[in-house]
Amino acid sequence: MANIALGRYMPLNSLIHRMDPRAKILSMLIMLTAIFIPSGFMGYGILAVVIIGVVLMSKLKLNFLIRAMKPMMFMLTFLMVINIFVIKTGYLVVDIFGFKIYSDAIFQTLYISVRLMLMIMITTILTATTKPLDLTLGIEDLLAPFKRFKVPAHEIAMMISIALRFIPTLIEETDRIMKAQASRGVDLQEGKFKEKIMAILSLIVPLFVSSFQRAEDLADAMEARGYIPQARRTRYKQLKRTPKDVVLIISSFSMLALMIAISIWR
Amino acid sequence: MPIAFKQVSYEYSPGTPFAYDALKNVSVEISLGKVTAIIGSTGSGKTTLVQHLNALLLPSKGEVEVLDRVILSSEKPKQLKSLRQQVGLVFQFPEYQLFEETIIKDVMFGPLNFGIEKEEALLRSMHALTVVGLDETFAEKSPLDLSGGQKRRVAIAGILAIDPNVLVLDEPTAGLDPQGSKSMMSLFMKMNRDYGKTVLIVTHDMEHVLNYCDEVIVLNQGSVVLKTDVKSFFRDEKLLDELNICPPKIVSMRRKLNDRGLHLDEGIVDVATLAKEIAGRVK
Amino acid sequence: MKQVEVKNLRFSYDDEVDAVKNVSFSVEKGTYTCIIGHNGSGKSTIAKLLIGLIDRNEGEIMIDGIVLTDKTIYDVRNKIGIVFQNPDNQFIGSTVKDDIAFGLENHQVDPAKMDEIIHHFAKEVNMIDYLENEPTRLSGGQKQRVAIAGVLAMRPDILILDEATSMLDPKGKEEVNALVDRIHEAHDMTIISITHDIEEVIKSDQVFVMNEGEIVMQGCPNDVLVHADKLIEMALDVPFTVKVALELKKYGIDVDMTMDMERMVEQLCQLPLSK
């Protein structure tokens, strides 16, 4: 659990950590768009430098980011192999016992790889520097204008924050159920296929049942405390916009503009 | 061969900022064939202690002897399963572990996991259900149709059907109403008196300790403070005060009457005997 | 003044068996009422009916003179605060202060004023040092105290406790019971406590004993709890002193039925005993 780098919050105190989540979410979206503009290796080079700069500003270890990209490595290698077989355009790079590898195969894979890596870096920076709850608040505020289009911004945010609140509780409960079933002879390591299925059922069913009960109790408690889903309510946690956040957004837009310019110029 | 903890320590989350010593150098023997209460305030290590008995937890240091097996800190004991067949552990709020379609299937789950043949498992399960006070009409019902108290009894039947020699119960009466509590405790005493099982009960309820248990082990902040028989335990006023334990009502009353000079015997542990004694003294 | 009035209440979960059958009772303002009964007697159902979480089949519920209907349900809920049995399943916020804030948010309190209110009630329940704590770092008793703070913050007139201490260890029970007593005194709050704890019942102003969906006994604890045989029949606890008095009666010794141990000891010492 502790080793999953992708999506995990790192409690550090950097400039980026302190920024308003709304600004960070928006910047991330803008940068993601910038990554998809076909600005060639020059464009990606600039983007990579900028993004690594942000990583350094956020005091995240490069090591951490590399771990975040590990899951992709397998897929990219696989992609490289497929492309080498399928793409036979461009100039000949090497000829191994009659098997020809062409440049386009390599460059296309690299292209995709670089895009993916930049995407992962940007999203990891967001989740690593923003507490899940602050992210939720940010999402709620950003979705708010869409309420007129019937997007239930507040309800979505409420669901996410309750889910987040219960993750540690659910983990504890899973542990308890596992131990209880282990006491009844459940052994996840050994056993025939059917036994393993029963073993998994003996974990999942109780979790589901207790989660449903929990949901019912929570709904009662929320209603009893005056919660009405569609009604207006105020919010304890307020997000404050600062000049730094505006700078962040403007910088992101500039990068986007730059990428567009480069792609047109090509 | 008894059950013994030999200088056992247990640390949660070692090497992290959350590292915590739940058990500190615990050495204690648990008598076979008796009903032993394990008491202590929340956080004293009671649950951690009992989870060593069927190797759900392995000691960080020291060793645990359970029946004919020794559980060490370093090695992973092989054949954990057979240990878990001999030491049945019932968790707190065990009703949450039910998952099968019917009650009889759920009770049979344990025995089947331990390699007991289906017919035998069925027989044992039906018997276990009767022992906990649920008749045949319950067998085909869904566990979800039952009340909390009934579910708990099904969960306990599930462990009884495994027929362990040692029965360990972690706060088995938590959340039950007074009647439910009493019948649960009577059941455990029956397991000991009629079936010869060694019973260990983690509990907060001093009335239960007095009325149903033979011995008591007191834990405080990860260490065993005391192990003694129940009668002696409740005789020692100073000790109870020191341990911040609220004595059973009968003990309080006996004490108050003795403070007024009545010289009541400290062996008086129930209302009937108290009344008889007082009635005997009325001129 | 009758703050809660219930007339001929009937409710069934499944339209086959009545969980609550023809229940009528009233609760005076500022009093401490206990409702006891075996599990399944209908006591928790009453709590949910009183705040309209479930809809009665028949009968009338009146809170502070307002009849509970679909239209008045929110007004009625504003007057009542309820604390449920499971400490985890009513803790909504991610931290103590977030949870107390939840009710304030629902009532559209100005966010600028929330901190002060949260601090005030956290102090009242002795959780002021735990404002930033997450629920997984709290004991059951602490979580229940936070629940009480959250409920108090909405300034109800009536506090309903639905077996709020059933799942707690003795320390937690003590903390919560002491807190409820303090609140009862300090705010002159009407308390309706659904409980198994006979000690709590002894201290209350009136007790309703429920059995199979009906109120079978009611009155002040001293009058109700002496009927040991009836209580035992209904699988309920009998106060210790009552047990002593009844045992002594078997030997022809009559003592006053009292709930208080000190008084019982007094009486026993007054008996002509040979030392």
Q: What is the ipTM for the molecules in this complex?
A: 0.91
Tokens representing residue C243 in the block:
């047990």
CB distance B178–C253 less than 8 Å? Answer: no
Give the integer Cα–Cα distance in Å for B28 and B44: 15
CA B176 to chain C, closest CA, distance in angstroms equals 8
pLDDT higher than threshold 90 for residue B246: no
Confidence (pLDDT) at A2: 42
Q: Is the pLDDT of residue A118 over 80?
A: yes
B117 to chain C nearest CA, in Å?
A: 37
Chain A closest CA to B198's CA: distance in Å? 17
The backbone region for C273, taken as left when phi is positive above 0, alpha when psi lies in -120 to 50, beta otherwise, is beta
What is the percent of chain B with per-residue pLDDT over 90, rounded to a whole number?
61
Residue C108 has pLDDT above 90, yes or no: yes
User: Nearest CB to B42: which of C40, C171, C265?
Assistant: C171
Nearest Cβ partner for C150 among A218, A225, A232: A225
Answer whether residue B258 shows pLDDT above 80: yes
| Residues of A in Cβ contact (< 8 Å) with C151 | 225
In the 8-state DSSP scheme, what is residue C259? S
Interface probe for B, chosen from C144, C240, C259 (most Cβ of B below 10 Å), is C240
CB within 8 Å of chain A, chain C residues 131-170: 134-136, 150-151, 154
What is d(CA B59, CA B79) in angstroms, rounded to the nearest whole number?
A: 17
User: Which one, of B42, B52, B43, lies nearest residue B8 by Cα?
Assistant: B52
- Nearest-CA distance A169 → chain C (Å): 7
User: Count of B–C CB contacts within 8 Å?
Assistant: 91
| pLDDT confidence tier of residue B1, bands split at 50, 70 and 90 | low
Average pLDDT over residues B23-38: 94
Contact C31, C185 (CB under 8 A): no
Which of B146, B179, B283 to mutate to test binding with chain C, by most C CBs within 10 Å of its CB? B179
Q: What is the pLDDT of residue B78?
A: 67
Angle at B175 between CA C176 and CA C18, to 5 degrees: 105
Q: State which CATH number among 3.10.180.10, 3.40.50.300, 3.40.640.10, 3.30.200.20 fits the domain covering B3-247.
A: 3.40.50.300
Q: Which chains touch A (3 or more CB pairs under 8 A)?
A: B, C
The answer to whether the Cβ–Cβ distance between C109 and A224 falls below 8 Å is no
Q: Distance, in angstroms, between B8 CA and closest chain A CA?
A: 20
Who contacts A253 (Cβ-Cβ below 8 Å, separation ≥6)?
A30
- Helix C170-187 with C140-152: angle, nearest 10 deg: 20
CB atoms within 10 A of CB B235: 16
The predicted model gives B44-56 an average pLDDT of 92
Query: Mutate which of C102, C146, C162 to test chain A, going by most A C-beta atoms within 10 A?
Result: C102
Could you tell me the CA-to-CA distances from C179 to C142, C145, C153, C183, C191 in Å, in that order?
11, 8, 15, 6, 12
Question: Is the pTM higher than 0.90?
Answer: no
pLDDT for A168 beyond 60: yes
Q: Would you call A180 and B97 a contact, using CB atoms and an 8 Å cutoff?
A: yes
Query: Phi then psi for C40, rounded to 5 degrees?
Result: 100, 5
Whether B177 and C273 lie within 8 Å, measured CB to CB: no
B10 DSSP β-pair partners: B23
**In terms of DSSP H, where are the helices of chain C?**
43-50, 73-79, 96-106, 111-124, 140-152, 170-187, 198-203, 221-224, 228-233, 240-250, 261-270
List, as one string, the DSSP characters of C1-15: -EEEEEEEEEEESSS
From residue A214, give the alpha-carbon distance in Å to each of A164, C9, C86, C87, C233. 14, 28, 9, 11, 33
Chain segment B61-93, per-residue pLDDT in tens: 999 999 888 888 766 766 778 889 999 999 999
Q: Indicate if the pLDDT at residue A125 is higher than 50.
A: yes
Q: Which chains touch C (3 or more CB pairs under 8 A)?
A: A, B
Please, is A216 exposed, middle or buried when counting C-beta atoms within 10 Å of its C-beta (0-12, 13-18, 19+)? exposed
Strands of the sheet containing B166-170, edge to edge, are B87-90, B166-170, B198-202, B35-39, B215-220, B223-229
Mean pLDDT (chain A) is: 87
Instruction: Over range C209-236, report the average pLDDT.
Output: 91
Q: Rounded to whole angstroms, how far apart are CA atoms C41 and C210?
A: 6
Backbone phi and psi for residue B108, each to the nearest 5 degrees, phi listed first: -75, -15
Across B20-172, the runs of DSSP E, i.e. the strands, are 20-30, 35-39, 61-66, 69-72, 87-90, 166-170
Name the minimum distance, in Å, from the CA of B81 to any CA of chain A. 6
> What pLDDT, in 10s, does the model give residues A35-80?
988 888 888 889 989 998 998 888 888 888 888 888 888 888 888 8
Q: Quote the minimal CA–CA distance from A205 to chain B in Å.
A: 6
CA-CA distance, B156 to B131, in Å (whole number)?
A: 10
CA distance B277 to A131: 68
> Choosing among C85, C89, C110, C152, which should be mutated to test the A contact, i.e. which has the most A CBs within 10 A?
C89
Ramachandran quadrant class, C81 (left: phi over 0; alpha: psi -120 to 50; beta: rest) = beta
Whether chain A has a CB inside 8 Å of the CB on C109: the answer is yes
Residues C14-34 have a mean pLDDT of 93
Token digits for B219? Answer: 């834990």
Rounded distance between C-alpha atoms, residue A197 and residue B146, angstroms: 25
Contacts of B283 in chain C (CB under 8 A): 272-274
- Which residue among B178, B257, B275 sits closest to C196, beta carbon to beta carbon? B178
Which residues are C207's β-sheet partners? C34, C219
Smallest Cβ–Cβ distance between C101 and the set A214, A228, A236 belongs to A236
Give the pLDDT confidence of A185-221 residue by residue, as tens digits: 998 777 788 888 889 999 999 999 999 999 999 999 9
Q: Is C208 left (phi over 0), alpha (psi -120 to 50) or beta?
A: beta
The owner of tokens 């004993």 is: C209
**Please, where are the H alpha helices in B87-195?**
103-113, 118-131, 148-160, 178-193
Nearest-CA neighbor of C160 among C45, C72, C23, C20?
C45
B88 part of contact set with chain A, CB < 8 Å: yes
- CB-based contact C274 B281, cutoff 8 Å: yes
CB contact under 8 A, B279 and C248: yes
Mutate to test the interface with B, among C248, C249, C264 (most CBs of B within 10 A): C248
B113 contacts on A by Cβ (under 8 Å)? 184-187, 195
pLDDT digits (tens, 9 = 90+) for B91-148: 999 998 999 999 999 999 999 999 899 999 999 999 999 999 998 899 999 998 888 8
Q: pLDDT tens for residues A108-117?
A: 888 888 898 8
- Residues comprising chain A, all counted: 266
Residue B157 confidence (pLDDT):
95
Is the predicted pLDDT of residue A3 greater than 70, yes or no? Answer: no
Contacts of C7 (CB under 8 A, 6+ apart): C24, C59, C60, C61, C62
Q: Could you tell me which of A74, A72, A70, A68 has the C-alpha nearest to residue A121? A: A68
Token pair for residue A100? Answer: 């020809």
User: Cα–chain-centroid distance for residue C25?
Assistant: 15
Say if the Cβ atoms of A185 and B162 lie within 8 Å: yes
Size of interface A-C (CB pairs under 8 A): 82
Q: Which of C66, C44, C59 is nearest to C10 (CA)?
A: C59
Contacts 24+ apart (CB under 8 A), A81-85: A83/A108, A83/A109
Q: Is C14 on the interface with B (CB under 8 A)?
A: no
Burial class (CB in 10 A: 0-12, 13-18, 19+), A233: middle
Q: Are A183 and B89 a contacting pair at CB < 8 A? A: yes
What distance lies between CA A148 and its chain's CA centroid?
27
Residues in A closer than 8 angstroms to B99, CB to CB, are 201-202, 205-206, 209
Compare CB distances from C105 to A164, A172, A234 and report the shortest one's residue.
Answer: A234
Provide, as residue numbers in chain A, all residues whose Cβ is less than 8 Å from the Cβ of C80.
Answer: 224
Least CB-CB distance to A205: which of B56, B99, B110? Answer: B99
**Residue bearing the bigger pLDDT, B14 or C112:** C112
**Burial label, B74 (beta-carbon count in 10 A; 0-12, 13-18, 19+):** exposed
Please name the helix (run of DSSP H) or strand (run of DSSP E) that holds residue A125, with its range, or none.
helix A103-129
Contact residues, chain A, for C78 at CB < 8 Å: 226
Partner-chain contact A210 B162, CB within 8 Å: no
Q: Where are the domains of chain B?
A: 3-247
Residue C273 contacts B where some CB pair is shorter than 8 Å: yes
- Domains in chain C, please, with CATH? 2-221 (3.40.50.300)
- pLDDT surpasses 80 at B255: yes
Cβ within 8 Å of residue A6, ≥6 positions away: A68, A71, A120, A124, A127
B150: pLDDT strictly greater than 80: yes
Phi, psi of C206 (to 5 degrees): -150, 155
Which pLDDT score is estimated for A192? 81
Which residues, including other chains, have CB under 8 Å from residue B58's CB and lie 6 or more apart? B52, B71, B72, B73, B76, B77
For the segment C85-111, the average pLDDT, to the nearest whole number, is: 95
The pLDDT-based confidence of A182 (bands split at 50, 70, 90) is: very high
Give C236→chain B minimum CA distance, Å.
Answer: 6
